[in-house]
A = this chain, B = another copy of it.
C-alpha cells in the first residue's frame, strides 16, 4: 500500500510525519474521511469545502493545496483501488516550538487509503449488523470551546465517548456507537456518525444549530428525503424521543446508512423509511459513480 505524504507517494510502512509537525503535537490539523466508489470520491466538493472551512477556523485555509483531489486520485491509482476508504489531512506543519501559530504555513498533507469494497446495489455493507447505541456521560464539547463544525485531529471528545462504552461494558461487548448529548441534554451525534430517527411518519435529525458536525452523508440523506417529499424536521430532541422512535439510523461516509438496533438496550430498529432511504442512497451512488 502507498500513502501520499507531503507531495510524495511512499510505502505505507514508511509514511511518517515529523514529530515537530503541529498536527502531531497539538492535533492542529483539518481532516476528512470519505469513500471512493468506482475510483471517484463521493461528494468531493462537499468534503473539500468542509476541509477548507475547518482550516479557516484554524487560520490556515490558504495552506490547503490546490491539487488535493489529484493527490487523492494518484494515491488510489497507485494502489489500484476503485472502492476505497480515504482519509485526507492538512496540518499546520512544522513551526518553531511555541503554541501561538506562525501565520506562515508550510502544511503537512497526508492521504491515507484502504480498500473498502463497495456497498450499495451490488456490494455488501461495511457493518454486519444494525448498530447498538448507548448514551454516555461524556458530553459534546460546546462550540465556544471546541467548534463542533470543524473536523480536526482533536478527536478526544468522541474518543472518550467510545472509551466509556468499553468501560461500561466490563468484559462484555461494548455498544457500536455512543450517543453524545450537549449540556442541555439534547442528543447531538455519535462519535463518528449523525443520528436520524422516524416519529409520527416524519424523518428527524438534530439541528445543525446544535453543537454537531453536519456530515456529508447526513446532507445527502436530507436531500434525498426532500426530493421524495418526505416530511423532514430538524430540531432539538431529548434521548427519550429517540428511544421511543419508530425507526432510527446512523449515517457516516463509511457506514452509509446503518439502522439502529437498540438505544440503551431498548429496541428501536430500522423500518420502511430507513430501508427506502438506503435504496435511494444506493441508487444515488450507482447513478453518480458506476
Contact = CB atoms under 8 A, between A and B. Distances in A.
Contacts of A159: 26, 28, 58, 99, 101
Interface string A13-24: 001111111011
Contact of A162 (B100, B137, B155): B100
A25 B156 CA distance: 11
Interface in A118-142: 137-142
Contacts of A163: 58-59, 100-101
Interface centre among A58, A141, A165 (most CB of B within 10 A): A141
Contact of A16 (B18, B114, B140, B145): B18
A91 to B, nearest CB: 9
A183 interface: yes
**Contact-size category for A:** 35 or more
A107 to B, nearest CB: 14
Interface in A11-70: 12, 15-21, 23-28, 31, 58-59
Contacts of A162: 99-101
A27 B28 CA distance: 9
Nearest to A112: B19
Interface residue SS majority, chain A: mixed
A155 B27 contact: yes
Interface string A138-177: 1111101111000011111111101101110000001000
Interface string A176-191: 0000000100000001
Interface of A: 3, 5, 12, 15-21, 23-28, 31, 58-59, 85, 87, 89, 97, 99-101, 103, 110, 112, 114, 137-142, 144-147, 152-160, 162-163, 165-167, 174, 183, 191-192
Given A15-B18, A20-B112, A141-B146, 13 more contacts: A12-B20, A19-B112, A26-B27, A27-B154, A27-B155, A58-B163, A59-B163, A97-B114, A100-B163, A140-B145, A141-B142, A144-B183, A146-B157
9 contacts: A25-B87, A26-B155, A26-B156, A27-B156, A28-B156, A85-B97, A100-B166, A139-B145, A146-B157
